[in-house]
Amino acid sequence: MNPNAKEPQMTKKRIYSNAEDGMLPLAGVTNPKQKRAATLCVLVSPLRKPSTLWSTSLPVTSSVVDASQVAKETVEKPVVTSDLTGNGRTNDVLWDKYSLVLKGQRIFIHSGEFHPFRLPVPGLWLDILQKIKAAGFNAISVYTHMALINPSPGVIDFNDYRALKPLYEAAKQTGIWIVLRPGPYINAETTAGGIAHWTTSQVAGELRTNATDWKAAWQDYIQGIITETVPYQISQGGPVIAIQLDNEYSQSPISHAEYFVDLKTAFYNSGIVVPLTANDFGAERNWINGTGAVDIYGIDDYPQKFDCSNPTVWNPVDPTYYNYHESVNPGQPWYFPEFQAGAFDAWGPTAPGYHQCRLLTGPDFENVFNLNLWAANAKLINYYMLYGGTSWGGLPFPGVYTSYDYGSAIAENRELTDKYPELKRQGLFLRSSPAFYKTDYIGDSTSGAVAVTNDSAFVTLLTNPDTSTSFFIARQNDSTSTATTNFKLDVATSAGSFQIPRVVSAITLSGRQSKVVVTDYSFGTSKVLYSTAQVLYAGQIGNRDVLFVYGDSSQEHEIALRLTGVPRLQAQSASISYTSIDGVSTVAFLSGIQGLVTVWDSSEQLILYSDTATAGTFWSPEIPTNPSDDFSNYWQYGTNTSILIGGPYLVRNATISGSTLAIRGDLYEEVRLIVIAPDTVRTVTWNGIPVSADFAEPAAATQQGGFSAQISPSISATRIVAPQLTNWRYANSLPEIEPDFSDADWTIANHTETNIPFKPYYGDGRVLYGCDYEYCENIVLWRGHFTATEDTKSVNLSINGGEAFAASVWVNNIFLNTSYGNSTNNRNILEEADDKFYFPPGSLVYNEDNVITILQDNMGLNENGAVIIDEEKSPRGVRGFMLNTGDFGEWKVQGKVGGYSNYPDKVRGVLNEGGLYGERLGWHLPGYDTSSWGARDLSEGLPDATAGVGFFVTTFDLKISEEFDVSMSLTFDQSFQPYRAQLYVNGWMMGKRVANLGPQYKFPVQQGILNYNGINTVAVALWAMESTKISPTLKLTIDGTYEGGVGGVVSNNPSWSAAGRG
């Protein structure tokens, strides 16, 4: 700022109009379920007499002024120069130091992580993608899971939920780009980091290296990924724009680098043309240059870490991102393949649960930490996770439980959380701001590049070199501070240099908050000189330039721009003032404003303002313009047209056919909406139901035309109730401890060598590791035979099951004890136990065969360790066995029926079942005949209060209309008791309840797993780990009922068959 510059002449006046206030009482909320009001308004030109339409199935009242003003958001195309780089295999994905350029268009990759295998209902993938797109995202990052796709040597399975084609098609339908991350190692808090279990015992060489047998092991899997993906690359009209090699791995030693060379060669010797990327585990300089280097380098960062127990304790933002990027690869765009958007939770009674993780990484975190990435000039950002889902069956690695909710913006049950609106505000800003896709980093307020009046404010300046649009990104200098900081900012604009704000007192940061202050910012043909209010939406609707800005109602804000045209509606409020400064109008918003304000409504411009919470209730679905085009649903490619809608729980999409605007979305409760739509529209429908007119409501947002409508879910939504779980049938599921049980058909455990590097501690040289016998996942049983004498008193057993495991031990039919693993909120971790078990008097049969039976839970295989090599080759099983005198005879082992080579349930897959007797016979499957079983309620536990395993099975009917999306969970009581329970729903293991540790007791179950219209089977394999009475309870609960959904969800829950069941 030039201190000698002459201050512009300022005149103030209030704006008045014949309209009543110009404010719409729209109570902004951050909880999507919280009661709220909204208004449906379609901007129109001259009035036409509307037709009255009514539907009894969708109660609607409205006031309509006919829609005739074109709602076309024309976004200025980002300028692309010829100074671009590629991988030499395609020109459809290029880049420079600023951003990616896809098919000639500069683009900001705004992405969220989604793992389809954690939502094993392909019909619901569209639901997640639509929710991601509705929040303004344009991409997803996708892990694929080798263990599921390549369950045994030579077997590649892309059927059912393992398929990629339906995901790629859903992405095209939604307009979402994909960065594919097939590993083979993915981490992802999943067993063995996603590596196929069979490799952990069959591959002698070190995994994730250039070892010959490891290279041979992953070839089929990667070739399968290639085959599925080639026709869905962007170069062939598909959504895939990049493929990541492995994950979070070091470039040294050379065996690692050569492994990446092997992976690159596999892709380069195929039809894959999109760039290959790497995800460095922090700022470690891996894979930028040298052997194994990739096309595009990126890092991940989880700055808030994972202490969900203390969600208000923040770590500071990392101020080094920009300098690191400039020091290692300044010629490429700054890429974050993973940036924290939640946190995983651990086992244990003190584990806080995912609601606390959602607080730790809540809206304030999203605001401050995400914008810190923007300030570092990052233009490719993927938030991990946007939807976490469920680690059902044997998917988890030992450190986490079934839920993989991750504290995400979209909850495990697919509901939108209070984190979602902040991401949507950011997403719509990015979509509206093509000038932000190419910015130079100018500096910050500590370097002298930016001048602020308060050192407590930290401001970074980014400027587009082509348009001179500037973005000042402000936060607290101490990003953890909860203080209120007021400051002014010096700016250089096309109208000169001066200090802002010029009318209100200051820019305010209320505690943990960030803001983007823009200067010389375009919307349509108009420009904002500056705005201390935040931009939600900017563009051109029909012949009018439209700007929607917002700010906290407890703060003051202002925008400066040239207002054009004759206003038909302006805000009339003591909280809003207009000041003319050298022909530029400065609109000041004082504190206290709630709801939507029409600031300026002329034939040339529409300016809207709201409080922050209200802005979060608005949606801006894109309108496809040429449905036959491959990229018709992609912003910047098939369309630059969108509409504005406020009020509903969710707006999925909108289309215009002839004169009909068809909006599809979800309702949770009655709402009043706001819509800005094309001038050709004569009819508005909501989920296919015409919205009728009611002239009782005045035009709300504009006098050019308005449409107000009150809509609500149908009355039948309130009639959906969860049936009670009654009429349980019971059978014993541990016949293995009975004297007459024969293990003749079990696998003889007689290996004396293993590729697992963690060798047995003691014994007679035999290796008793489940994976060596094809039994890697879930429950495994061991039977050790021995001849007892009067001197036989005890047995020592070292059992490894992974963090939070358990193993119960019997001699003959006498319960001895249970060995417990442990985890207490990721502390006091114990993944194996070495215990001595004493034989009670009378438990042995002298000079005859006796049997030790071990019932062991395998909690998944470890992920790759930073220090320990091949930690994925976890020694799950018995690492030591020794009688106090004498030797063991034969050892037998039994896990999942068929092992990983011949398991019968190909639909649910290799990780769904374990080795319990009931599982092996298929008792958990729908259609199994339990009519001969006894009646016993689950709450009664096992008979005689003994340790053991019992199967409880019941069925219930659901009849839910296709028009509803109902979130349901199966919920145990929260008491701590010594039992473990495997929860099966229509044959799928949807939960593992560990009642002595916790914390999970509620297990969401998705439509598709649940049959919304028919009979559902629930089975509970209840393992009492002590000889004491246990009394679990289980009920079906409804978390939320939404009218809408994606529809067409198909269940694929194969019924019981005797084939392959022993």
Residue 377 contacts residue 96 (beta carbons within 8 Å): no
Query: Strand, helix or coil at 369?
Result: helix
- Tell me how far apart the alpha carbons of residues 188 and 915 are, in angstroms, rounded to a whole number: 25
Amino acid at 802: G
The CA-based diameter of the chain, rounded to the nearest angstrom, is: 109
Q: Which long-range contacts (CB under 8 A, 24 or more apart) does 315-324 make?
A: 315/480, 316/478, 316/479, 316/480, 317/368, 317/369, 317/372, 317/475, 317/479, 318/372, 320/283, 321/372, 321/373, 321/376, 321/378, 322/375, 322/376, 322/377, 322/441, 324/283
Give 785's contacts (C-beta < 8 A, 6+ positions apart). Answer: 849, 850, 851, 888, 889, 890, 891, 892
Give the rounded distance of the alpha carbon of 754 from its chain centre. Answer: 38
Catalytic, out of 73, 248, 556, 913: 248
- To the query of whether residue 753 is one of the catalytic residues in this protein, the response is no
Taking the alpha carbons of 795, 801, 804, 809 in that order, is the dihedral positive or negative?
Answer: negative
Determine whether 785 is exposed, middle or buried from the number of CB atoms within 10 Å of its CB (0-12, 13-18, 19+).
middle
Taking the alpha carbons of 9, 516, 601, 73 in that order, is the dihedral positive or negative?
Answer: positive
Comparing C-alpha atoms, which of 715, 650, 716 is closest to residue 960? 716
Amino acid at 73: E
Residue 307 contacts residue 315 (beta carbons within 8 Å): no
Comparing C-alpha atoms, which of 156, 152, 174 is closest to residue 227? 156
Alpha helices (runs of H) in 5-119, residue ranges in sequence order: none
- Tell me how far apart the alpha carbons of residues 106 and 435 are, in angstroms, rounded to a whole number: 10
Backbone angles phi, psi at 434, to 5 degrees: -60, -25
- To the query of whether residue 338 is one of the catalytic residues in this protein, the response is yes
Query: Would strands 644-646 and 296-301 be described as parallel, antiparallel, or unpaired?
Result: unpaired
DSSP labels for 230-260? GGGBGGGT-SEEEEE-SSS----SHHHHHHH
Determine whether 996 is exposed, middle or buried from the number of CB atoms within 10 Å of its CB (0-12, 13-18, 19+).
middle
Residue 500 contacts residue 491 (beta carbons within 8 Å): yes
- Tell me how far apart the alpha carbons of residues 410 and 834 are, in angstroms, rounded to a whole number: 42
Give 789's contacts (C-beta < 8 A, 6+ positions apart). Answer: 846, 847, 885, 886
- Tell me how far apart the alpha carbons of residues 1042 and 964 are, in angstroms, rounded to a whole number: 6
Catalytic, out of 189, 228, 338, 831: 338
H-helix or E-strand spanning residue 360: helix 354-360
- Tell me how far apart the alpha carbons of residues 860 and 94 are, in angstroms, rounded to a whole number: 40
Give the rounded distance of the alpha carbon of 725 from its chain centre. Answer: 31
Comparing C-alpha atoms, which of 100, 98, 127, 99 is closest to residue 114? 127
Half-sphere CA count of 682, side-chain side, radius 13 A = 7
Comparing C-alpha atoms, which of 648, 485, 622 is closest to residue 1043? 648
Q: How far apart are the first and last CA of the chain?
A: 83
Comparing C-alpha atoms, which of 35, 42, 75, 34 is closest to residue 646? 42
DSSP labels for 264-314? HHHHHTTT--SPEEEEESSS--TTSSSTT--SEEEEEE-TTTT-TTSTT-P
Other residues' Cβ atoms within 10 Å of the Cβ of residue 500: 23
Taking the alpha carbons of 83, 86, 91, 93 in that order, is the dihedral positive or negative?
Answer: negative
**Which positions are catalytic?**
248, 338
